[in-house]
Structure 1
Amino acid sequence: MTTGDDDGWSALHGGIRPSPVVRGWLRMVRVLSAGPVARVPPDVLSLSGVVVLAGAWAVAPAGAPWTAVTALLVVAAGVLDGLDGAVALRTGRARPLGAVVDAVADRLGDLLLGAVLVALGAAPGWVLAALALVFVHEFLRARAQSVGMPGVGAVTVAERPTRLVVVALPALGAAVLPAGPPLVGASWGTVFALTWTVLGAVGLVQLAVGVVRTTPPRFPESPPGR
């Protein structure tokens, strides 16, 4: 990875330096975006991630060992989620409408992640709580950015990669131990829906602190004559 890759990520995330894990992820996405996938329109990559997650949802009710396929599809959707932006920047096709498409695809994807957990046996109430926190999290960030907050406010424990992980892991667990996690007495889906909810609550607090810290105290002065 080049220093430029780190700097580009940092500029998009309020000056925060990427961790070693994030640097490794960026290296992988950069390599993939330099291949034939660079010819695919970024919007197609964004929407393809939604289609892949729909496939994960369709496979999940089949149970073991097919839930391993669900886990693989969730990971594949995460790769597509990273590739759309990387390809847009590499090929000079980044544009405001593309950012809108990406955001809508992400929210649809979050809903499908919740649906996968329900298919894995999660209690719907916990899934709804987790999804509510996701939408408040993303609305807070978007609203703060619209009034002048630079960057993302804070990179929290509840970002989209975390959401993908807390759905891929129970899908894999259900393939290996269909009866559920040992000594827990609940399904894989419910355990990880609860995990997602807790992480979502912590992440929302982290983001709120970041928004208060980085949002300008007042609107810019109006131009003369306004």
Structure 2
Amino acid sequence: MGRGRGLSWNDYADRWAQLHGGFDPRKAGPLVRGWLRVSYLIGKGLARIGISPGGVTFGGLLLCVAVPLLVHRPALASVFVVLAAMADSVDGATAVVTNRATRLGYLYDSLVDRLGEAAWLIAFYLVGAPAVLVVAAGALSWLHEYVRARVTAAGMRDIGVVTVGERPTRVAMAFVGLLLAGLVDPVQTELPAGTITVVSAVWVLLSLVGLLQLLAASHRALRG
């Protein structure tokens, strides 16, 4: 099974759970479970043709960088957000099915996630979102991930809580914001900026609530 040819979905789910705080993807909601299963199938296919997890991670970074370069066509940029998010999931799947999940790979994957989100927020700013909202969304998203990393280092071994400010929410905000900006652009030239501003404000709100949820769960878990 060096390249994951014989790794079943159940075997993959067991390995994935071990790397994600014991969270079993088979018990996730239909959308998350479906997303992870598609990632597993793609990752298994890439493993068969010799594509490395690092190659998928780098490809995801390139997709993210393309997003602010496509702000003149926001709807197309939103498609690149989805492709980048899929690459972010597939690189981990490829690592699991090839049994090549490493701490260094986890580091690079997390780094690319943060750089990718920064690129999406730059696109928001270029479309017309106020800088203060863009910076706040980025800072709160970064702080959410920083807190989760620190509480893990402090000894919290399980996932604790799935907040409303997690990575999938940020992917959804980037996708929806750019897609709506592209859809309203033909109607009136001022609408994309207003639309992306509203979505940025929602991003900030969800990130703040998610951070508070995470802090509360971390406090309960580490208090003893």
* TM-score tier after normalising by the smaller chain length: 0.7 to 0.9
User: Is contact 1:9–1:18 with CA below 8 Å preserved after alignment?
Assistant: no
Answer yes or no: is the 8 Å Cα contact 1:166–1:192 preserved in 2: yes
Task: List per-residue Cα deviations over 1:130-185 (Å, max 9, x = no partner).
Answer: 1111111111110111111113322111111111111111211122211789xx99
Paired-residue identity, %: 32
Map residues 87-102 of structure 1 onto 2, 5 A cutoff: 87-102=94-109
Which of 61, 66, 71 does residue 55 from structure 1 map onto? 66
Match of 1:111 in 2: 118
Tell me how far 1:9 sits from its aligned partner.
4.7
Say if 2:57 and 2:87, in contact at 8 Å, map to a contact too. Answer: yes
The CA distance in 2 between the partners of 1:37 and 1:123, in whole Å, is 42
Counterpart secondary structure, 1:35: helix
Give the counterpart of 1:133 among 118, 140, 147.
140
Q: Aligned residue pairs: how many?
A: 211
1:23 to 25, 30, 33: 33
Contact 2:128 2:192 in 1 (8 A): no
For 1:140 and 1:10, the matched residues in 2 are separated by 21
Secondary structure of the structure 2 residue equivalent to 1:150: coil
- Give RMSD over aligned pairs: 2.3
> Alpha-carbon deviation of 1:186?
5.8
The separation in 1 between residues aligned to 2:112 and 2:79, in whole angstroms, is 19
The aligned runs of 1:209-224 (5 Å cut-off) are: 209-215=216-222, 217=224
TM-score (norm 2): 0.85
Of 25, 28, 45, the match for 2:56:
45
Which whole-Å CA distance do the structure 2 matches of 1:111 and 1:149 have between them? 28
Q: Which runs of 5+ in 1 are unaligned?
A: 218-226
Distance 1:23 1:90 in 2: 17
Q: Verify: 1:202 aligned to 2:209, yes or no.
A: yes
CA distance in 1 between partners of 2:187 and 2:115 (Å): 27
> What amino acid is aligned across from residue 34 of structure 1 in structure 2?
K
**Residues 1:35 and 2:42 aligned together:** no
Change over 3 Å in CA distance of 1:185–1:109 after alignment to 2: closer
Change (3 A) 1:14 1:37: closer
Instruction: Give ranges in structure 2 of 5+ residues lacking alignment.
Output: 1-7
